[in-house]
């Protein structure tokens, strides 16, 4: 996957909110992600699957529930740095 593909995937507002939620928690089920981002379970599932297909997230099935987490520490760092940069910008306004 290219760097551009990573940033393109995270440029979607819903996907970046999902990724940030996964930064805050080690793993979340689809229903929790839907509640956090204010979407339907189908929408959350679609975006989570997209993140997984790009190698940004991974999943583990337990019974009937699927739990998602970020794929590795590099993905977590990218997201945390982006949000830290955003907060710095707000401080300078």
In the chain the domains, ranked by start, together with CATH numbers, are 3-91 (1.10.10.10)
- Enter the tokens of residue 49: 């699957």
pLDDT at position 86 is 85
**Residues 87, 91, 93, CA angle at the centre, nearest 5°?**
115
Q: Which two tokens stand for residue 60?
A: 């583990």
Distance separating alpha carbons of residues 79 and 82, to the nearest angstrom: 5
List average pLDDT for each run of 10 residues in the chain, which is 93 residues long.
86 94 94 96 96 94 94 90 84 62
Specify the pLDDT at position 93. 60
Which of 30, 28, 26, 62 shows the shortest CA–CA distance to 45?
Answer: 30
Quote the pLDDT of residue 30.
Answer: 95
């Amino acid at each position: 996957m290219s760097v551009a593909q990573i940033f393109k995937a995270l440029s979607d507002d819903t996907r970046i909110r999902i990724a940030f939620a996964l930064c805050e928690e080690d793993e979340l089920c689809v229903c929790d992600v839907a509640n956090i981002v204010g979407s339907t379970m189908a929408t959350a599932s679609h975006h989570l699957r997209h993140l997984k297909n790009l190698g940004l997230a991974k999943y583990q099935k337990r019974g009937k529930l699927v739990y998602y987490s970020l794929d590795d520490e590099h993905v977590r760092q990218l997201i945390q740095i982006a949000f830290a940069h955003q907060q710095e910008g707000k401080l300078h306004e």
